[in-house]
Structure 1
Amino acid sequence: MNRRGGIRTFLTIWLGQIVSVTGSGMTRFALLIWAYDQTQTATSVALLGFAAFFFFVLLSPFAGVLVDRWDRRVVMLAADGVAGIGTALILLLFAGGALQFWHVFVYEAITGAMEAFQLPAFASIISVLTPAARRGRINGLRTLGYSVTRILAPALGALVLGAADLRAVLLIDLATFAAAYGTLLWVRVPPPAHSAAGQHGRGSVIGELRAGLRYLRTHRGLLYLILLFTGINFIASLTYMSIMPTMILARTGGDEATLATVQGMIGLSALVGAVGVTLLIGRGRLIRWIVVGGVLSFIFGDLLMGMSQALAGWLAAAFVTEFFVPFIFNAQRTILQNKVPPDLQGRVFALDGALRDLIVPFGYLIAGPLADRVFEPAMARDGALAGALGGLWGTGPGAGMGVMYLFTAVLGASLCTLAWVIPSIRNVETDIPDYQEEAAGMPAAPSQPSGIKASSAAPSAP
């Protein structure tokens, strides 16, 4: 397949996935509302998120091995298939008046587990369909699609729930699965060429997983790049991912409209950033986008978010922070796609995703106690830090959480700067040559049946 035809194939898959993920997002939103209505507890809603997250992280390393072993298009077909079957079962249970919370929990667990297959399969398809010079912008399109679905899915889900009920949302979701399935059946994706690194440990799941780890250990620039993003996610989980809603509610006396407006700006900014990626990411060294974007996001975004005490400041902070995120993550993904042999990419992307997601709960666990027991008391009107920081951060409810952003701003900017100081990260684009399939010295792997039925897995972000 020529590269122009490969880009057309990618765009066909991408459009189908946007439609499918929008439907899946509508269902997840509607099921969260249903679960809360049934149980009236926040714990039940949190458990649904935990179910998807836990099984995604648990299976990701092994799923990456199987993605490299199987036909990746068939893996994606399987992913959409199982998600569609799960949605159909939830629809039947709801229509029969038999739907219970544990059914939804199992559905979320299966969906999360199958996303462990879908995400690395889609990411690794890009490198066999597109030329290296276009991958930054292609990844930008992928992020753009995800940003659109993140904005549309909750809004459409709420609209349909208001006009009808959960049954209508599920029927729409099934229709979107059909669209994604049709596009995947229509296209053909060439298999990746065999590489010497990709063949290590062949035949054993554990052996092939070790081959992926061995590749990263011998290409330390890529390993450190993955660990850098694990650190970025951890720092972000201490504030932005965890306490941001609580801080805004505390500082506004529980004004939910203000919080919703800030969250809407986060989605809009991610969308604008994704458009910027498609236009700009091919210019200059990718590692510079990571370092500069990370420093600007942490310094200006975190500081402004923590110091602000009104909507205008929070909106500006949300825009600055989220605008750079697509640049940062797409640059990293493009570097991995350019450097890692395609028949190893399933394992590398799966390990990258698992590490980044695995660290997040630890940030959540630390953030709450730090806010409640350390920073909030310290920024009370007579607190230990009120005299020194109260002039800029204010005092009282929410001020302590605002000060936490000062620390994440410094930590995050320092970590991104350190990436430029470490030669193996700074020079990762020049020290590690781009992978060239024609130079692999081995024939392309034959396209094989996947070994799983074409009805197993779950939707991914586009």
Structure 2
Amino acid sequence: MFQSTKQTAQTANLTAGGHALPADWLGRIVLIWSGYAVSMFAGNAASYAGIWYATETTGSPLSLALLYVLAFLPMGLLSPFGGVVADKLNRKVIIVVCDALMALTSLALAAWTFIAGPSFAAVALYCAAFGFVSGFRTPAYNATMPLLVPECHLVRINSMDTLLGSISMIAGPALGILLYTSFGLQYVLILGGFGAAAAGVTMLLAVIPRDHGAHEQAGAWASLKEGASTLASQRGLLVLTIGVSLGMLAYGPIDSLMPLMVYDHFGGDGFAASLVAAVMGAGLLVGSVILMAVNPRRKLARIIVVSAFVVGTGALIAGLIPKGGYWAFVVCIGVLAIACAWFNAPLMTLLQKNIPDEKLGRVMGLFTAMNGLAIPAGTALGGLIAEVTGTPLFFQIDGVFILLLAVSIAISKSVRKLDAASSDHPTVEQTL
């Protein structure tokens, strides 16, 4: 017992990646996340304004699906190579360069909109730029966190991504709609550009360890195969990763079709749609706060399974609500959103704890790619199905699919073994 306590105390002085824990690690995290928060808030406002512009001008599920494909397909295609780059080069430099490219692109598109007026093409290019940048930034960013954070706080730090995203979803869409309706699309794009610049500046000021990946000499393709092999060697992690990616395939069209559901099925306007987005953000906020407060370190796979059951049930019920039930739809989306906050952080933590740091960038790249490809594929397929069935029936079909997926993950022996293995590692509280 005392030996376990001593070992736990020693690991408390290390980051999750096995490096010496910086004395000011919390200050570094606060600095990085402050810029990231501004970027997420501004980017969400710009994205939602663009989506609502497309909703008003086209009214087509396929047009909305195209925007999501442009935003996530480049990320899915490039993330595996972005992960290789993250393991070979300076991750901090990669993140700063990506933020700078996004800022310049947003400001250039704003200038174009000032000259030529708002257009679907400008919104599409903004989405494509986001997808391209995310293909390199996301693997580098996710692989950086274990270099700065002790393992006991990984779930909390990973939950911050969802927490900040939920806060930006509460206020971002409302601000985006306000700027769009009051001043025009170009001002929202300017806001997005300044947000990306803020994230780049704070990351530039932060001190990030750089002792990873120096020995990697293999080519990009060989490194990519090695990352895939590393993930495949741990069957429970592989099943969970594939399961969450399939869940994102099903969730993508729900997210993209919500404005159309409000506009077409319930007869709502832009502010009614932004309210749904804000409630979605509020639900994610509540779910993230719960996860951060509980800070689970065991049974993380079980949390993912429970989340899938709640999301599937919520989507099914949302599709059954009649035209006069807008407020019931709002409540349903809020409950669904709480469970959505319990997917990413547990899986991200399991990957960061079980994958060696020198290979983590590649595995994160594969994980980002799987989600990045699943979202546009699901959104495109969902848009086609919704054109035929109508949006409400599609919500019902999608909910049933997510429920079947939850059952499949729950009965997986390798996933249950993954949770059993986590229970074999005592926490500080258990050893005292």
The answer to whether the superposition gives a TM-score over 0.5 is yes
User: Is 1:80 matched with 2:99?
Assistant: yes
Contact 2:87/2:359 (<8 A) preserved: yes
Gaps (5+ residues) in structure 2?
A: 1-19, 427-432
The correspondence for 1:276, drawn from 281, 286, 290, is: 290
User: Is 1:304 matched with 2:282?
Assistant: no
56-65 or 226-235, larger mean C-alpha shift = 226-235
Q: CA–CA distance in 2 between the matches of 1:93 and 1:81?
A: 18
For residue 404 of structure 1, what is the aligned residue in structure 2? 397
Q: Alpha carbons of 1:44 and 1:232: their partners in 2 closer, same or farther (altered >3 Å)?
A: closer
Q: CA–CA distance in 2 between the matches of 1:34 and 1:370?
A: 22
Other structure's SS at 1:181 match: helix
Determine which structure has more spread, i.e. the larger CA radius of gyration: 1
Contact 1:295/1:416 (<8 A) preserved: no
For residue 145 of structure 1, what is the aligned residue in structure 2? 164
Q: Percent identity?
A: 26
C-alpha deviation, 1:280, in angstroms: 1.3
Q: When the two structures are superposed, what TM-score results if normalisation uses the length of structure 1?
A: 0.75
For residue 5 of structure 1, what is the aligned residue in structure 2? 24
Contact 2:69/2:379 (<8 A) preserved: no
Q: CA–CA distance in 1 between the matches of 2:298 and 2:345?
A: 14
Deviation string 1:269-311 (CA, Å, 9 cap, x unpaired) is 1111111121113354322322233334434x24533444434
C-alpha deviation, 1:15, in angstroms: 0.8
Q: CA–CA distance in 1 between the matches of 2:383 and 2:93?
A: 42
Structure 1 residue identity aligned to 2:26? I
For residue 4 of structure 2, what is the aligned residue in structure 1? none
User: Is 1:267 matched with 2:281?
Assistant: yes
Contact 1:71/1:191 (<8 A) preserved: yes
Contact 1:293/1:328 (<8 A) preserved: yes
Gaps (5+ residues) in structure 1?
A: 377-396, 434-462
For residue 407 of structure 2, what is the aligned residue in structure 1? 414
Structure 2 residue identity aligned to 1:286? L
Q: CA–CA distance in 2 between the matches of 1:80 and 1:207?
A: 28
Q: CA–CA distance in 1 between the matches of 2:119 and 2:328?
A: 43
C-alpha deviation, 1:89, in angstroms: 2.0
The correspondence for 1:60, drawn from 62, 67, 79, is: 79
User: Is 1:325 matched with 2:316?
Assistant: no
The correspondence for 2:112, drawn from 93, 113, 121, is: 93
The correspondence for 2:309, drawn from 279, 295, 304, is: 295
Q: CA–CA distance in 1 between the matches of 2:394 and 2:189?
A: 39
Q: CA–CA distance in 2 between the matches of 1:44 and 1:366?
A: 12
Deviation string 1:320-376 (CA, Å, 9 cap, x unpaired) is 221012122210111111111122222111211221232334444554666676x78
Q: When the two structures are superposed, what TM-score results if normalisation uses the length of structure 2?
A: 0.80
Q: CA–CA distance in 1 between the matches of 2:320 and 2:419?
A: 32
Deviation string 1:143-202 (CA, Å, 9 cap, x unpaired) is 11111122222222222334434444344344334432321221110025459xx84xx3
145-154 or 165-174, larger mean C-alpha shift = 165-174
For residue 422 of structure 2, what is the aligned residue in structure 1? 429
Q: Alpha carbons of 1:90 and 1:403: their partners in 2 closer, same or farther (altered >3 Å)?
A: closer
C-alpha deviation, 1:261, in angstroms: 4.4
C-alpha deviation, 1:19, in angstroms: 0.8
Q: CA–CA distance in 2 between the matches of 1:233 and 1:31?
A: 22
User: Is 1:314 matched with 2:329?
Assistant: yes
C-alpha deviation, 1:116, in angstroms: 0.8
Contact 1:68/1:344 (<8 A) preserved: yes
Q: How does 1:235-246 map to 2 (within 5 A)?
A: 235-237=250-252, 240-241=254-255
